[in-house]
Structure 1
């Protein structure tokens, strides 16, 4: 069994693992947060924590990180303002800024994974973390679409109500993984376009990035 005293250095060498763990934990906690009386504040706080972890991981990438810092700063400032004085336009702006940040983070992680001919342990964690980062990016994009154009997404349960964050995240994961839309469906043209982009992104990510990492691991094993 690994000595707990070695965990901090291990996490410093594999920050992508911590980001992946935090996002998977969020998948389990988001439904509980939404049911809580102060759910929106909890969702915002947890989202900012994940944002900080993603920023920490992105700063290890060879891609210039100043853009990520600016986007993260905008998200924090607007999120605080929206808690104090909620506005639909501000909600849409926050979702767009968060989506841009996570797309930037996904691009940075892809550059990090593809920068050399060696697949390290952290790069393998980064491959999984990039998928979850893309899921967050499209979920925020769906949230922005819903804020700008209400009733963009429908469902069998409470079809007239706006879709919750966990529902939009579920749609994002379903779209990127190619397993289908499930019970959450895009209704308006822009929503359908965003879902199609998500489907294309999921297929291309597996085809280009994941397949390359698998190829590097195969070459490494054959070379032993």
Structure 2
């Protein structure tokens, strides 16, 4: 095998968080393009499974318990596939619950990894972005479950009668987690508003504790030469 290819593979193996971050950002770009057709949704579903595999890889590299992640991921994938095959939305709701739990668990694992020492490596800096996207996805899955249990939980340009699409929920999640606002999606029910408030709190704490700590350590390393 070519030495350059071997070095590239070795580099990727050293930075799984960066690969996960790139995959999730690609998903943000691909979803609007692929969601207009059945074939496109199938391709995106396959890509989502690949992202889940990357999440498991990241969990395996973190100090968390691996079997918990597998216990969440395997039934989530199976239920998602089965929901598409037999057209059973209720199965997709359960799959989204499991995926939300998996993404939260993976985010916690990355945070523990970033707090593991006093050195800031490239992989830890990439983990900052990957953790943010993991949290955004986790809350979006939670919003999806919420609107399935409580119809009319979120309103938007299409009104209350139409459930929000996955892209709308993900867009709102990114907006809330980053602190820029609610965008054009508004929580209407008490459970929805509770979830949004929890995400607001998580976003503020993530920036205040995790990001500020890594920035401080990086600055100290620069001052120390």
Q: Structure 2-normalised TM-score?
A: 0.94
Helix, strand or coil: the match of 1:151?
A: coil
Match of 1:75 in 2: 76
Given that residues 76 and 95 in structure 2 are in contact (C-alpha distance below 8 angstroms), is that contact kept between their aligned partners in structure 1?
yes
Looking at structure 2, the residues matched to 40 and 120 of structure 1 have their Cα atoms a distance apart, in angstroms, of 37
Match of 1:18 in 2: 19
Q: Structure 1-normalised TM-score?
A: 0.95
Looking at structure 2, the residues matched to 123 and 197 of structure 1 have their Cα atoms a distance apart, in angstroms, of 25
Q: CA deviation at 1:40?
A: 3.7
Match of 1:27 in 2: 28
Q: CA deviation at 1:174?
A: 0.2
Matched, 1:206 2:207: yes
**1:54-203 correspondence to structure 2 within 5 Å:** 54-203=55-204
Q: CA deviation at 1:204?
A: 0.3
Give unpaired runs (5+ residues) of structure 1: none
Q: How many residues align?
A: 222
Q: CA deviation at 1:81?
A: 1.4
Helix, strand or coil: the match of 2:42?
A: helix
Given that residues 33 and 42 in structure 1 are in contact (C-alpha distance below 8 angstroms), is that contact kept between their aligned partners in structure 2?
yes
Given that residues 30 and 43 in structure 1 are in contact (C-alpha distance below 8 angstroms), is that contact kept between their aligned partners in structure 2?
yes
Looking at structure 2, the residues matched to 161 and 39 of structure 1 have their Cα atoms a distance apart, in angstroms, of 22
Looking at structure 2, the residues matched to 193 and 74 of structure 1 have their Cα atoms a distance apart, in angstroms, of 27
Q: CA deviation at 1:39?
A: 4.1
Give unpaired runs (5+ residues) of structure 2: none
Q: CA deviation at 1:159?
A: 4.3
Cα shift readout 1:13-40 (whole Å, capped 9, x = no counterpart): 1111110000000110111121123344
Cα shift readout 1:71-107 (whole Å, capped 9, x = no counterpart): 1111112112112212232121111100000000000
Given that residues 41 and 83 in structure 1 are in contact (C-alpha distance below 8 angstroms), is that contact kept between their aligned partners in structure 2?
no
Given that residues 13 and 122 in structure 1 are in contact (C-alpha distance below 8 angstroms), is that contact kept between their aligned partners in structure 2?
yes
Identify if the C-alpha distance between structure 1 residues 37 and 81 changes in structure 2 by more than 3 Å, giving closer, same or farther. Answer: closer
Given that residues 79 and 94 in structure 1 are in contact (C-alpha distance below 8 angstroms), is that contact kept between their aligned partners in structure 2?
yes
Looking at structure 1, the residues matched to 39 and 151 of structure 2 have their Cα atoms a distance apart, in angstroms, of 23
Given that residues 92 and 145 in structure 1 are in contact (C-alpha distance below 8 angstroms), is that contact kept between their aligned partners in structure 2?
no
Given that residues 88 and 147 in structure 1 are in contact (C-alpha distance below 8 angstroms), is that contact kept between their aligned partners in structure 2?
no
Looking at structure 2, the residues matched to 4 and 177 of structure 1 have their Cα atoms a distance apart, in angstroms, of 38
